[in-house]
Structure formats: structure tokens, C-alpha cells
């Protein structure tokens, strides 16, 4: 045998067993994927890739496993690997594009949809146009006030309905004194439960009780729908897994049951709906007209796509053959979770033009037929999945479920209240000849007491965050406390001013994304543990009425915030989450900067700091938009400080008093007549008394 053949034989001896092992792992992973055991499938696909690094099937199935478990950032990372390999199948392109759209990356998604047009011109063009629709929809005025449902947990909570004064919903954890603390594997084994809150807007700590009696089988049931007369209930028997997508087009596990209702909202085991179809799914029921009409979703044959919406009527004690609601409502995609309010129908679709994932739509009857659906718009809809819409007939509030960022868990329940016309109206029109006020020196202000309140602006904002469901409004500051005798500037106190920015200027209050790291109701003694995260962005203290938040950011892009969140969790901050709110400098304090180490390393050690750094206070404004950074940007590092409704601009970066005094003189010569040297002692500004 030649040396070459001997070498090949040796290689075959070692490689063949590895390839056989890889194929065995791949077969096992594919089986797990088909059974929706995605976490296990990922493990075995990963083992296969160790032997076959370029296996496209493995890479794609890992990406799909992450997508189907609502982990889009991980999915996008694996889709990128496929794209780099070049040989990408059309179905890969389409699902990659859907995932990008689901995190708000509309332009990137649109490019892939255009690429998919080569395979399917109709679908590719439809979704490419939907990206333009989504981008335009985000520019519209907000029409709803949004709050988190107080009883959400860190697991999935979904599918609210109402029985008398109870809010009934599905959850993978419930509170009885305290929230059950269970590992993810236990949650997935036990399935969702039906629970109720004793009020429509439960507080976070309010007890949540199981709806069904202990002796009854109470898991893997829901969502449910009560008839208007509360005598009948329809419910879905499901195989949902916490955090996974609720449907795939090929599902076969959902079936509807109908049961009699007891006085407290509990119900009997029930009987199967006559038109459940073997080998297909029938679920998401909505009873209407006192239980004589049943709207539901099903992927049975004869529809227009995956899941379609149907209706069946109870006549002479028997349910009629289901009627498809037609091609104006149903599409080649999936339409699920119908809700009929007696006049209009609401449902979720992943095909009609929306912001991404499943969006919520409304259709009305015109000339005896359902009209083309209309999106409920942003706030109710998001780039993520939005579904299980219902209306509380008592309060007229909209309840729905979403897996968007800013919630407590994997799926969360939200409450939307339509704004009235006054809230939607524009505020003041701006005159063309705008008078630009000069910078205000607090020490030089001499305001009559009767005018003090007119000088103060209060800022209100809404925060989509898991701890808060009410607006925090900063208290109006008392200018008497800020102003001292005009002729004695040395008495001006800056001690309560807080640094909010370094090296940048925040002149407006846009809606931005933060990664929340922690929340405290007591003084913070462990700020230092967050210092290492500055590589991802600034670390802030955010002061609320009853607590202080530690947040990382801020980010203008949702996708970027999600990526940072993923990395932060891997570093051990498992309770971190993303929140979106209006930027409000009045409640912010910069703790650590991504651009430099902040002086105030330990907030609780301020008292021991004896010497500080010389800086130059330039001026104070009620509206920072009038500050012209170009006049002084060459004199030092710009810092932005906040005191109540006032913004104070400061120059820093001086190694000694002489440098600071020199910068002060230059600032005065450039129009900042009230410039003065101050000392920053560990985050506390003090006026320097100069001889």
C-alpha cells in the first residue's frame, strides 16, 4: 500500500466515526425540533456543528429554534452566519427578513424581502411594502395611553377575559402570598394555568388565585371566553410552552371545548366542540350573542393560508358547519385570537401590513360583508407579537398580550386607554420670528413671588416598565431656594445639581431605550458593581418617586438595546430588561460614563472626598435648546447638569485652578458673562470663592 493510501486510510479511520456520530446527532436534533423541544434541539445541532462546521441545515435550524422561542437577537446572529456562507435557500431569506422586521430593522428586512421577490414576487413585494407601511405608521401621533397589567410575572401571562369583577387570564406562575420560584424546566412541564385577579387593574403585589377547583385538571387550558350571559365558557386545550410562539402553520394540538359555568367563574370539564378536526388545530375561541356564536381560528383544510378565522352558530342545539370569514380578513399568513364585541371583530395577523410579527387589526361589516381590516396602530401594535385583544365592557379599556420589550416576562398583558381629542390635539404653534432668550444666571434672577410658578415647567411622561404603571411628575422647584441675593453670588448653592451628560448635550426628550439593571427603594451601597458595564454605554441613576433605578444606555435603536441586554445577562445580570420612555434629564444622574471614568465612583463615599476638580460653570437655562456649544467646545469637555427644571452647562478637563480660570475668562469674552469657577467634589458642585 502506498504512503498516500495509508494516509487516507488513517484519516478515514478517525473521520468516519465522527461523521456517523454527527449524522446521529442531526437526526436526533431534527426529531426534537419537530416535537418543538427547541432547547434540546439547539444542543444537538451545536454538537453536530462541532463535527460539520458548515452544515447549513444545522445553522438554519438553530436560527429557527431561537426565532420560535422568541429570542430574535440570537436568531439573527445565526441567520447572519448563513448569509455569510452565501448559499441561502429562499425560506431562510424569508424567515431572516421576518426576524429583522420583528426587531424594527425595517430597511435591512426590506432588502431581504426584495431578494425573496425572485422566488415569490407576490409575497416578496407584499412584505417589502409592509416595511414602508411600518416606518410610516411609527411617525403617526400616539392614540393610546399604555400601562402594564399589574399581575404580570417573569413568565408568560396572556389571554385576559372578564367574569363579573374578575380579570381572568393565563399564566405559567401565580401568586399566593408570594410568586412561585421555579426553574424553567418545571414551568415547561406543568404548563399554563387559569387564574384571576380580584380587580381589573391589580397591583403588582396583589394576590392572584387559581380559578379552577384543586381537584380538577387545571393545566394546559386556555385561552377562555365567557358568553355574555356567563352561563357558558369556551376554552382551548393546548400544548403551549412558556415563551414559545403560540402557533405554527402545521400545529395539530389545539382543540376547543365548551362547558357550563359555576357562580364563581369555574367550569366543568366540558365537551369537545363538534367541529374540532383531527390532524389540525382549532383554538382561540370567542363566544358572542350569549353563547350562540363561536368565532375561532383553525388551520384546517380549505382556508386561505395557515390559520384562518371561522364562525359557527348554535341552532336548535347544534353547531353549524364553520364558515370562513373570507379573504378580506384571512390571508396566506396566520390570523388568530379573534374577539367580537357585538359589532366589530378584532384579530391578530402576521401577514396584513403591520409593524412586525403579529399585529392587531379591526374589521367592520359593510353591506353584509367584512371590510378590509385596519391596524389599531402603534402603541397597541409593536415590531414584536401582539395578540389576544379584548375590550373590558365595564371600563372600555383595551387589554392585549405582547412579547415586546419593556415587560416583566416573556409575554405580558397590557392595558391601552384611547386618548381623548384634547390629548391628541397639537399644543402651541411656533411663530416664525422666534425670540431666542439669553442664558439665565440663577444668581442674577430677581423674580416677584407672584411669577415664580410661571417660570417652572413640569414634565410629564409615560414609562413602559415593569415596576411602574403610573406617571412620575417632577415636583416644581421653588426658585427662592435656588436664588440668593443678587449682589452676593457666592451664596448660590449648586449642591443638589446632578450631572446628566458628559461630552454630549441632551436638548430634547425623545423616546429612548434603556437596559434596567436594578431598582432600589433604599440608598444604593453597591453602585460599583455596575461600573464594568460602561463598555456598553453610560450607567445612570434614575430617580423616581418611591425608588431609584440603575439603567444602562440610552439607545435610540431597539435592536441595539436588545443586543446589549443579551450581553448584560450573560455577564450575570439575569434580572435586567429593556424599557422605553421619554428621556427626562430632571430625574437622571450620570454614574459612569462610557467615555471616561466619572469622579463619583462611590456615591456613599462622597463625605470622605476632601479635594475636587476645578470646572467652569457657563450658564443655566430653562430650555437647553438655546445653548450654543460651538462657542466653547474648544475650551474643555462639556458637561450637562440638572437642577429641578433648570439645565446647567459646565466645562471640565482642567488639571489645576489656573487652567480653569483661564477658560472662564475666555468663556466670558465669548458671551457667557456669568461664567464662574466651581469645584466638583465627588458629584457635588460648589462655587469657588475667588479673591
| The pLDDT of residue 341 is above 50 | yes
Q: Which residue has the higher pLDDT, 9 or 615?
A: 615
Cα–Cα distance between 235 and 268 in angstroms, integer?
Answer: 11
483, 447 contact by CB (below 8 A)? yes
Mean pLDDT of the chain: 80
What stretch of H or E contains 401? strand 398-402
Q: Tens of pLDDT along 593-634?
A: 876 544 444 433 333 333 458 899 888 887 777 788 888 888
Burial 484-514 (b: 16+ CB within 10 A, else e): beeeebeebebeebbbbbbeebbbeeeebbb
Residue 309: closest CA among 335, 331, 288, 333: 335
Residue 595's pLDDT is 61
Looking at the predicted structure, is the pLDDT value of residue 555 above 50? yes
Stretch among 471-480, 527-536, 572-581 having the lowest mean pLDDT: 471-480
| pLDDT winner (highest mean) among 419-423, 444-448, 568-572 | 568-572
The answer to whether 385 touches 405, Cβ cutoff 8 Å, is no
pTM summary value:
0.68
- Grid coordinates in use for 416? 391601552
Bond prior to 148 in cis (omega within 30° of 0): no
Helix or strand or coil: residue 625?
A: helix
Angle formed at CA 578 by CA 577 and CA 581, multiple of 5 degrees: 135
- Residue bearing the bigger pLDDT, 524 or 335: 335
Q: pLDDT tens across 461-506, in order?
A: 233 333 333 333 333 333 333 333 333 333 335 667 888 888 777 8
Cα 78–79–85 angle (5° rounding)?
95
Beta bridge partners of 295: 286, 311
Q: What percent of the chain has pLDDT over 70?
A: 79
Which residues lie closer than 8 Å to 331 by C-beta, 6 or more apart? Answer: 304, 305, 349, 351, 352
Considering 95-104, 178-187, 196-205, 438-447, the range whose residues carry the highest mean pLDDT is 95-104
**Which is nearest to 355 in space by CA: 638, 140, 589?**
140
> Mean of the pLDDT values across residues 401-411?
87
Position 189 scores a pLDDT of 56
- CA 26 – CA 625 distance, rounded (Å): 59
Of 76-90, 125-139, 265-279, minimum mean pLDDT range: 76-90
Kindly indicate the confidence band of residue 174, based on its pLDDT and cuts at 50, 70 and 90.
low
pLDDT confidence of 265, banded at 50, 70, 90? very high
Considering only CA atoms, give the Rg of the chain: 30
Question: Mean pLDDT across the stretch 211-224?
Answer: 84
Given 3-state DSSP classes, what are the helix, strand and coil percentages for the chain, each rounded to the nearest 5?
30, 30, 45
Q: Per-residue pLDDT for 10 more than 60?
A: no
Integer angstrom CA distances of residue 530 from 29, 462, 516, 580, 591? 39, 26, 11, 20, 9
Burial 345-374 (b: 16+ CB within 10 A, else e): bbbbbbbbbbbbbbbbbbbeeeeeebeebe
Per-residue confidence at 5, pLDDT binned at 50, 70, 90? low
Phi, psi of 472 (to 5 degrees): -100, 125
Asked if pLDDT for residue 570 goes beyond 80, the answer is yes
Q: Which three cell numbers stand for residue 567?
A: 450581553
The DSSP H or E segment spanning 10 is helix 3-34
Look at residue 66 in the predicted model and tell me its pLDDT. Answer: 93
Per-residue pLDDT for 438 more than 60?
no
Report the pLDDT averaged over residues 253-262.
95
If you average pLDDT over residues 364-390, what whole number do you get?
93
pLDDT of residue 691: 54
CA contacts within 13 A on the Cβ side of 271: 6
Grid cell in block for residue 86:
452565501
Backbone angle region of 302, left / alpha / beta, with phi > 0 → left and psi within -120 to 50 → alpha = left
670 has a pLDDT exceeding 60: yes
The mean pLDDT value for 117-140 works out to: 93
* Separation of alpha carbons 14 and 516, rounded Å: 50
pLDDT grade for 31, boundaries at 50, 70 and 90: very high
Taken in order of first residue, the domains within the chain and their CATH numbers are: 144-421 (2.115.10), 478-499+609-691 (3.30.70.1070)
Nearest to 253 by CA among 310, 304, 298: 298
Name the pairing type of β-strands 538-543 and 588-592: antiparallel
Q: Is 612 helix (H, G, I), strand (E, B) or coil?
A: coil
Mean pLDDT across the stretch 7-20? 49
- Average of pLDDT values for 412-434? 59
**Surface-to-core class of residue 188, CB atoms within 10 Å of its CB (0-12 exposed, 13-18 middle, 19+ buried):** middle
Is 67 a residue whose pLDDT tops 90? yes
Tell me what pLDDT residue 690 has: 61
170, 159 Cβ separation under 8 angstroms = yes
Burial of 481 by CB count in 10 Å (0-12 exposed, 13-18 middle, 19+ buried)?
exposed
Q: Which residues contact 356 (CB under 8 A, 6 or more apart)?
A: 98, 101, 102, 103, 104, 134, 382, 383, 384
DSSP code of residue 438: P
pLDDT in tens, 343-356: 999 999 999 999 99
Number of residues that this document lists for the chain = 691
Residue 644's pLDDT band (cuts 50, 70, 90)? confident
Q: Is the pLDDT of residue 436 over 60?
A: no
What 3 state SS string does 199-215 have? Answer: CCCCCCCCCCEECCCCC
Pull the grid cell for residue 358: 403579529
- In this model, does residue 421 exceed pLDDT 80? no
Instruction: Bin 43: left if φ > 0, else alpha if -120 < ψ < 50, else beta.
Output: alpha
What cell numbers appear for 98 in the block? Answer: 421576518
Question: Highest mean pLDDT range out of 41-45, 137-141, 498-502, 567-571?
Answer: 41-45
Least confident piece of the model among 80-84, 168-172, 370-374, 643-647 = 643-647
Whole-number pLDDT of residue 300: 96
The answer to whether residue 224 scores a pLDDT higher than 90 is yes
* Helix/strand number for the chain, H first, E second: 12, 37
The model's confidence at residue 1, banded by pLDDT at 50, 70 and 90, is: low
- Give CA–CA dist 640/501, Å, rounded: 5
Q: How confident is the model at residue 165, as a pLDDT?
A: 86
Q: What is the mean pLDDT of residues 314-321?
A: 95
User: Could you please report the per-residue DSSP string of 293-321?
Assistant: EEEEEE--TTSSSSSEEEEEEEETTEEPP
Taking alpha carbons only, the member of 72, 101, 171 closest to residue 412 is 171
Q: Which residues contact 131 (CB under 8 A, 6 or more apart)?
A: 101, 106, 107, 109, 110, 113
Amino acid at each position: 500500500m502506498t504512503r498516500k493510501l495509508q494516509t487516507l486510510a488513517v484519516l478515514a479511520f478517525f473521520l468516519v466515526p465522527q461523521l456517523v456520530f454527527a449524522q446521529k446527532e442531526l437526526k436526533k436534533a431534527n426529531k426534537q425540533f419537530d416535537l418543538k423541544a427547541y432547547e434540546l434541539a439547539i444542543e444537538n445541532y451545536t454538537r453536530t456543528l462541532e463535527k460539520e462546521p458548515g452544515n447549513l441545515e444545522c445553522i438554519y435550524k438553530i436560527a429557527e429554534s431561537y426565532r420560535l422561542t422568541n429570542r430574535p437577537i440570537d436568531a439573527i446572529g445565526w441567520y447572519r452566519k448563513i448569509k455569510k456562507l452565501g448559499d441561502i435557500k429562499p425560506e431562510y431569506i424569508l424567515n431572516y427578513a421576518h426576524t429583522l422586521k420583528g426587531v424594527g430593522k425595517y430597511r435591512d428586512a426590506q432588502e431581504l424581502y426584495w431578494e425573496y421577490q425572485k422566488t415569490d414576487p407576490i409575497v416578496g413585494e407584499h412584505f417589502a411594502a409592509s416595511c414602508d407601511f411600518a416606518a410610516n405608521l411609527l411617525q403617526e401621533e400616539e392614540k393610546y395611553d399604555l400601562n402594564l397589567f399589574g399581575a404580570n410575572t417573569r413568565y408568560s401571562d396572556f389571554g385576559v377575559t372578564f367574569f363579573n369583577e374578575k380579570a381572568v387570564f393565563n399564566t405559567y406562575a401565580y401568586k399566593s402570598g408570594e410568586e412561585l420560584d421555579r426553574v424553567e424546566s418545571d414551568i415547561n412541564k406543568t404548563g399554563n394555568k387559569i387564574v384571576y385577579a380580584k380587580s381589573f387593574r391589580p397591583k403588582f403585589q396583589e394576590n392572584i388565585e387559581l380559578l379552577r377547583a384543586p381537584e380538577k385538571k387545571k393545566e394546559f387550558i386556555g385561552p377562555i371566553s365567557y358568553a355574555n350571559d356567563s352561563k357558558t365558557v369556551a376554552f382551548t386545550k393546548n400544548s403551549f410552552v412558556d415563551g414559545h410562539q403560540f402557533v405554527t402553520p402545521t400545529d395539530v394540538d389545539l382543540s376547543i371545548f365548551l362547558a357550563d359555568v359555576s357562580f364563581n367563574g369555574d367550569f366543568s370539564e366540558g365537551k369537545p366542540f363538534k367541529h374540532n378536526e383531527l390532524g389540525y388545530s382549532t383554538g382561540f375561541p370567542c363566544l358572542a350573542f350569549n353563547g350562540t356564536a363561536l368565532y375561532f381560528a383553525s388551520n384546517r383544510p380549505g382556508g386561505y393560508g395557515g390559520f384562518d378565522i371561522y364562525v359557527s352558530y348554535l341552532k336548535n342545539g347544534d353547531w353549524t358547519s364553520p364558515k370562513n370569514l373570507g379573504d378580506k380578513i384571512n390571508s396566506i399568513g396566520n390570523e388568530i385570537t379573534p374577539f367580537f364585541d357585538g359589532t366589530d371583530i378584532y384579530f391578530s395577523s402576521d401577514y396584513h401590513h403591520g409593524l412586525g410579527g403579529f399585529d392587531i387589526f379591526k374589521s367592520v361589516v359593510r353591506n353584509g360583508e367584512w371590510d378590509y381590516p385596519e391596524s389599531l396602530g402603534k402603541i397597541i401594535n409593536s415590531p414584536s407579537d401582539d395578540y389576544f385583544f379584548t375590550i373590558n365592557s365595564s371600563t372600555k379599556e383595551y387589554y392585549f398580550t405582547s412579547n415586546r420589550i419593556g415587560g416583566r416576562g416573556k409575554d405580558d398583558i397590557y392595558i391601552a386607554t384611547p386618548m381623548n381629542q384634547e390629548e391628541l390635539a397639537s399644543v402651541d404653534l411656533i411663530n416664525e420670528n422666534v425670540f431666542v432668550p439669553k442664558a439665565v444666571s440663577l444668581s442674577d434672577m430677581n423674580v416677584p413671588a407672584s411669577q415664580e410658578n410661571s417660570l417652572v415647567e413640569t414634565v410629564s411622561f409615560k414609562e413602559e416598565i415593569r415596576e411602574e404603571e403610573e406617571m412620575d411628575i417632577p415636583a416644581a422647584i421653588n426658585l427662592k431656594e435656588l436664588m440668593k441675593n443678587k449682589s452676593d453670588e457666592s451664596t448660590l448653592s449648586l449642591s443638589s445639581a446632578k450631572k446628566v451628560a458628559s461630552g454630549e448635550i441632551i436638548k430634547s426628550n425623545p423616546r429612548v431605550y434603556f437596559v434596567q439593571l436594578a431598582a432600589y427603594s433604599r440608598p444604593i451601597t453597591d453602585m460599583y458593581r455596575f461600573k464594568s458595564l460602561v463598555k456598553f454605554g453610560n450607567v445612570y441613576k434614575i430617580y423616581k418617586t418611591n425608588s431609584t433605578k440603575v439603567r444602562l444606555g440610552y439607545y435610540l435603536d431597539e435592536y441595539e438595546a436588545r443586543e446589549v441586554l443579551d450581553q448584560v445577562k450573560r455577564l450575570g445580570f439575569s434580572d435586567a430588561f429593556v424599557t422605553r420612555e421619554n428621556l427626562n434629564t430632571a430625574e437622571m444622574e450620570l454614574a459612569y460614563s462610557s467615555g471616561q471614568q466619572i469622579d463619583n465612583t462611590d456615591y456613599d463615599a462622597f463625605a470622605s472626598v476632601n479635594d475636587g476638580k476645578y470646572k467652569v460653570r457657563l450658564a443655566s437655562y430653562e430650555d437647553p435648546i438655546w445653548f450654543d456649544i460651538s462657542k466653547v467646545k474648544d475650551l474643555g469637555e462639556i458637561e450637562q447638569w440638572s437642577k429641578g427644571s433648570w439645565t446647567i452647562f459646565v466645562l471640565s478637563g482642567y488639571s489645576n485652578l489656573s487652567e480653569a480660570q483661564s477658560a472662564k475668562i475666555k468663556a466670558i469674552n465669548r458671551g457667557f458673562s456669568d461664567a464662574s469657577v466651581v469645584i466638583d467634589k465627588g458629584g457635588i458642585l460648589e462655587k469657588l470663592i475667588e479673591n
